[in-house]
Structure 1
Amino acid sequence: MKISESPQFSVEDVINQSGFGRYQYRMLFVCGLAWSTMAIQVCLMTFLKPEIVTEWDLSDAAIGTVEALFFTGMLLGAFLWGCISDRYGRRVGYLGAVSVAGIFGLCTTFSQSIEVFAFLRFVTGIGIGGESIPFTLLAEFSPKYSRAKLLLVNLIFWPIGILFGIGIAWTILPSLGWRWFLIFSAIPICLNIFLLLIIPESPRFLLLKCKFEKAEKILHNIVEENRGQYPKGTLIREKEIQNGSIQDLLRIEFRRTTLILWFIWFSVTFGYFGIIFITPRFFDHSDIYLVTFITTISEIPGFLLPLVFVDRIGRKNGMLLFFVMFGCFCLSLIDVFQIPTYKIGSIICIFGARLFIAGCFGIVYLYTTEVYPTLIRATGLGTTLVWSRLGGALATFTAHTIRSSVVMILFATLAFSSAFCCHLLEIETRGMDLKDELTQDDDVQRSSQASIEMKRFQQL
């Protein structure tokens, strides 16, 4: 008599069957809170600029250098924490990044010179560079059918953090000064370190590292907290897989996607931070708090709008549409249309531009997280963020030193070019299961392609 084998199931099967419940809500709250506290640090120079210019008699070029150093730190941090997360776990990378950002953010308060201030902002930027890890972690705990909605809702915490930073600046800066403003801006990150201790490691990562008991324990906790039903059978156990690397991002099956995503990430970040940094040039200093508050609110519907159609028209078409709309709003701000001469007209155009570039940011984040397998997901997102932070660093100089109409034309040109690149992406991730490893078929494809390229080389 033949004994039937026990059915097998994957991590994806367990998470999909457990559904969307209390476990995901808790993960969303903690990961979103981390995003909010990091957002405060990214945008605080918008309000600090007049204060430190007076403190140390700085030029616009010096301010641009300080901001560029911060983004350079984020550039290095994105790569560093991405590699750490893929090698030692999402939780380790997450806690490390937040700890560095919080500690050095507080230390910046005690700067006695612009050189020390710039260095501490640089190191703080390294910590903030780990901002992508909570997004990766949340994606790996999300059921397939609600992943897009959960990740896009998580992005709303970013403008909420900026709005909180505006509130701190509005109340603290005029009365207590910029040093107290830095303290109140860094405290939320430090408190967030303790909240992150309750976040578990990704079961997908644990499974790839052959830590089967820990992975199954977390999966049972998810099912129990969501009041779902654990699948019958046994969890698929693969042999331990070697850590992924940057070279894997340039394999035949990912090369085109990776190169296009590097350009798209550069463009979307250049536009996002560029429109933020150039906003004060359209208004008087006395209006900056109110204008920044109004235009920042636009990012909330910007992140919510893709929820309506991103699962209908797909990620690629969503990015394409939002890039085109952002480019159109940027063109409306050039001098020839005379809209910038009216305060309300400038507010409406900047509101629209930030709405669509924020939505585009969200879809790009979602697509990048879904397109790479677990083995190289954090590294893939980290390397794209390297190009992203390069765009942010260049945006600081561009927004401060070049004529505003020229900057807007540059924003629009990059946006339309990125829209075309979205059309060239080969993979559509809508409705796709998250892959955990580089499959054998991928290896066969790579070997086959390598053989073809070798034959072509020998024929030359």
Structure 2
Amino acid sequence: MAQQEEEEDGLVYTLEEALTSVGIGKFQYMALCYAGLGFIAEAAETQILSFIGPALRSQWALSPTQESLMTTIVFVGMLIGAIFWGFISDTYGRRKGLLSVAIVTAVSAALSAFSPNYSLLLVVRMLVGFGVGGRPIYGSWFFEFVPSQNRGMWTTICIGFWTIGTILEAFLALKIAVVNKAQLPPGKLVSSQLTKELLSPGKNKISSVKSGFSSLLVLLSPALRRNTLLLWVVYTGNAFSYYGIVLLTSLFSSGRCQRSSIALHTNDDQSLYTNVLINSLAEIPGILLSAILVEKVGRKFTMALMYALYFLFLLPLLAPQLPALTTALLFGARAFIMGSSITVCVYCEEIYPTSIRSTGMGVATSAGRTGAMLSPIFAVQLVRGCHQMTAIISFEAVLVLSAVSVMLFSLETKGRELIDTLVL
């Protein structure tokens, strides 16, 4: 009876109502900065792939297949890590998951800087991928402290820290090229993995599932199956397209297509790093546009628009273009694929209940890693083999499939309150 009187007096709040009442404050800003470190770390470790391959191709006489494997093996680790860390976070809590991810990533990244040969480097880089595969935990953790009316914009800003990581990595590589006038020597690869200090998020009571298997059953339950499968397709397509643009930037910067390994000169290195830096900056307008549209027109329409613009910018690259035009087209394509990738993360976090949110994000991200693993094959192998048109057609086809999947999502999550559990 007393509880009913309290409810009538408006003294009982749901978590969503409390967040809406309090709004964005100091805690959210601190959480944003901490979660952003996770995105910076993954972005830096991903961006460095654009530089490791070309540098070691000449230093260690790597074949195109070995160069592609340098990238693919990292995404293999990410694929495994995304699922593993999602289960850990939902079962044992976000804080333990975040701490474990930070330790594994920092240690393996440090070891990769001292790898003496190709085989050992592959092993430790896969471990780095396994560590940074836990990045979705950062997003899920921050996401749960943001009120629904601001969720799309603030989640976009949080994911935008990824771009800071890519810019820092590209700037560091360019600085090294200018100062040292030489490539990175084998065995002394510079890893810009950021060591992260954990803020204490306090006790966050999470309704968790008993095992990873039961979590998967919930993800594939009738209520979620359609959107879950479509999300896996979209994540795969986004990863394939995004990392394809990253790799195409470095490939087109060489100004040649070839199967053999030819040493790059210093000027070529500086041109590569400059182009990568320029295209990293492209993510900023993509993030800003996504942050505006996601709350104005909704998640689905924003993704569809980004795909259409990406398609148009990539289309002229079916044939070789002048260097300046190629850079401009890649700039626009990267901006829009980044905007789409951020928006689908917002959608994914809103579609799942709290009890399996990290698992859902982790599995979707892991599915996306398959696209990231395939991307080097179509980018590196085809472009170096002088099959640029085939490579671009492949990226466009995957993009169309992703766009169709977005249109088939069963609901729009704009303004939707978070749910804690799913009643099956």
Instruction: Give the TM-score taking structure 1 as reference length.
Output: 0.82
Deviations 1:42-73 (A, max 9, x none): 11021122332233221111011121111000
- In structure 2, give the amino acid aligned to 1:79: I
- Equivalent position amino acid for 1:16 in 2: T
1:113 aligns to 2:117 (yes or no): yes
Report the number of matched residues: 397
1:352 maps to what in 2?
332
Does the 8 Å contact 1:106/1:183 carry over to 2? no
Equivalent position of 1:370 in the other structure: 350
8 Å CA contact retained: 1:105, 1:120: yes
Secondary structure of residue in 1 paired with 2:419? coil
Quote the residue 2:366 is aligned against: 386
Cα distance in 2, alignment partners of residues 267 and 147 from structure 1: 24
**2:224 partner SS:** helix
Q: 1:258 maps to what in 2?
A: 228
Query: What is the aligned partner in structure 1 of residue 92 from structure 2?
Result: 88
Q: Distance in 2 between matches of 1:2 and 1:370?
A: 34
Shift of 1:184: 5.1
Q: What SS does structure 2 have at the residue aligned with 1:311? A: helix
**Structure number having the greater helix percentage:** 1
Alignment of structure 1 residues 395-414 onto 2, 5 Å: 395-402=375-382, 403-414=387-398
Counterparts of 2:360 and 2:417 in 1: how far apart (Å)?
17
Contact preservation (8 Å) 2:115, 2:188: no
Change (3 A) 1:5 1:180: farther
Measure the CA separation in 1 of the matches of 2:288 and 2:28: 18
1:92 is displaced (CA, Å) by 1.2
- Hey, what's the Cα distance between the residues in 2 that align with 1:51 and 1:183? 12
Offset at residue 207 of structure 1 (A): 5.0
RMSD: 2.0
Q: What residue is the counterpart of 1:199 in the other structure?
A: 201
> Is 2:192 the counterpart of 1:185?
yes
Residue aligning to 1:69: 73
Q: What does the per-residue CA deviation read over 1:73-102, in whole Å, with 9 as the maximum and x for residues that have no partner?
A: 000000000010110011111111121111
C-alpha displacement of 1:242: 5.1
Secondary structure of the structure 2 residue equivalent to 1:208: coil
Matched with 1:155 is: 159
Structure 2 counterpart of 1:25, from 29, 51, 61 = 29
Q: Residue deviations 1:169-206, cap 9 Å, x none?
A: 122356383569744513x2x2x1x2x243335x3xx0
The amino acid of 2:84's aligned partner reads: L
Name the SS for the 1:428 alignment partner.
coil
Q: How does 1:6-405 map to 2 (within 5 A)?
A: 6-7=6-7, 8-172=12-176, 175=180, 177-178=184-185, 182-183=189-190, 185-186=192-193, 188=194, 190=195, 192=196, 194=197, 196-201=198-203, 203=204, 206-208=205-207, 245-284=215-254, 285-286=268-269, 287-335=271-319, 340-402=320-382, 403-405=387-389
Task: Determine the C-alpha separation between the residues in 2 that align with 1:207 and 1:436.
Answer: 9
Q: 1:198 to 1:172 in 2, by over 3 A?
A: farther
Q: Distance in 2 between matches of 1:5 and 1:341?
A: 72
Contact 2:59 2:185 in 1 (8 A): no
2:264 is matched with which residue? Answer: none
Secondary structure of 1:305's counterpart equals helix
Percent identity, aligned pairs only, is 31
Distance in 1, matches of 2:310 and 2:415, equals: 26
Query: Larger deviation: 106-115 or 282-291?
Result: 282-291
Contact 1:299 1:355 in 2 (8 A): yes
In the superposition, relative to structure 1, how do residues 108 and 301 fare at CA in structure 2: closer, same or farther (>3 Å)?
Answer: same
Distance 1:116 1:28, change over 3 A: same
CA contact (8 A) 1:48 1:178 kept: no
**Bigger radius of gyration:** 1
After TM superposition, give the deviation of residue 293 of structure 1 in Å: 1.0
| Counterpart code for 1:387 | A
**3-state secondary structure, aligned to 1:198:** coil
SS at match of 2:417: coil
Tell me how far apart the structure 2 counterparts of residues 182 and 86 of structure 1 sit (CA, whole Å): 35
Structure 2, unmatched stretches of 5+, are: 255-267
Cα separation, partners in 2 of 1:42 and 1:251, compared to 1, 3 Å? same
Kindly state the Cα deviation for residue 321 of structure 1 after the two structures are TM-superposed.
1.2
Alignment partner, residue 214 of structure 1: none
1:198 counterpart letter in structure 2? S
Distance 1:250 1:30 in 2: 32
Identify unmatched segments of 5+ residues in structure 1.
210-240, 444-460
**Cα distance change on mapping 1:145 and 1:4 into 2, 3 Å:** closer
Counterparts of 1:2 and 1:155, CA distance in 2: 44
- CA offsets, 1:214-262, max 9 Å, x none? xxxxxxxxxxxxxxxxxxxxxxxxxxx7565111001101011011111
Query: d(CA) in 1 for partners of 2:395 and 2:27?
Result: 40
Per mean C-alpha deviation after superposition, the further-off stretch among 46-55 and 72-81 is 46-55
For 1:2 and 1:407, the matched residues in 2 are separated by: 68
Structure 2 CA distance, aligned partners of 1:19 and 1:100? 34
Contact 1:132 1:381 (8 Å CA) reproduced = yes
Asked if the contact 1:15/1:141 (under 8 Å) is kept, the reply is yes
* Deviations 1:366-386 (CA, angstroms, capped at 9, x unpaired): 100110000111111111111
Conserved 8 A contact 1:105-1:182: no
